[in-house]
């Protein structure tokens, strides 16, 4: 069953602030930057805060979290994704430049993507 969480509560706001600090630190320590789309980053941070409150760990918001059949009262995520996850560190970011949820990427990836977005906007504007 989906657990409910009051996203307007002080407790959630506090957790959200902690999670923002956490993602800042992840960027700093790994040499990553936030992905090129701010709305995506905000959504992922909210999802991480939500999972921390519901399940006690920052499980990836883009993967299912379920009861751990081996540990009573504990949870686990599909693919064992706890942020910053192993698949992002070992494969996604080195190979594709960005993690599955698109919150963390390399500076090069971001630069290229922002240029691409700018070009697309110019083409669109020229077409109008
Ligand atoms: S894909 Fe991995 S690094 Fe990216 S938000 Fe999810 S858990 Fe964190």
Mean pLDDT split into 10-residue runs, the chain, 128 residues: 78 97 98 98 98 95 92 88 97 98 98 95 87
Burial of 8 (0-12, 13-18, 19+ CB in 10 A): exposed
The span from the CA of 24 to the CA of 9, in Å, is 23
Name the nearest CA neighbour of 117 among 41, 37, 43: 37
- Which of 83, 86, 87, 91 for a ligand 1 pocket mutation test, highest count of atoms within 8 Å of Cβ? 83
- As a whole number of angstroms, the distance between CA 48 and CA 91 comes to 21
Give the per-residue pLDDT at 1.
45
Ligand 1 pocket mutation, candidates 26, 52, 60, criterion most atoms within 8 A of CB = 60
Pocket of ligand 1 from Cβ distances under 6 Å? 44, 60, 62, 81, 83-85, 88, 99-101, 103-104
Q: pLDDT at position 127, please?
A: 82
- 3-state DSSP call for residue 25? helix
* Structural element, H or E, at residue 65: strand 65-67
Residue found by looking up tokens 């991480």 in the block: 48
CATH entry 3.30.950.10 includes domain 10-127: no
Q: Is the dihedral of CA 45, 47, 50, 56 positive or negative?
A: negative
- pLDDT for 82: 96
Taking the domains of the chain in order of start, what are their residue ranges? 10-127
């Amino acid at each position: 069953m989906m657990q409910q969480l009051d996203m307007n509560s002080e407790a959630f706001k506090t957790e959200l602030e902690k999670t923002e600090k956490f993602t800042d630190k992840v960027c700093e320590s790994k040499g990553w930057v936030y992905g090129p789309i701010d709305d995506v980053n905000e959504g992922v941070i909210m999802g991480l805060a939500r999972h921390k409150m519901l399940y006690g760990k920052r499980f990836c918001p883009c993967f299912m979290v379920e009861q751990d059949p081996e540990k009573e009262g504990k949870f686990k995520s599909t693919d064992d994704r706890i942020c910053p996850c192993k698949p992002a560190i070992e494969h996604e970011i080195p190979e594709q430049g960005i993690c599955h949820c698109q919150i963390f990427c390399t500076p090069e990836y971001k630069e290229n993507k922002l240029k691409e977005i700018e070009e697309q906007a110019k083409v669109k504007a020229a077409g109008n």
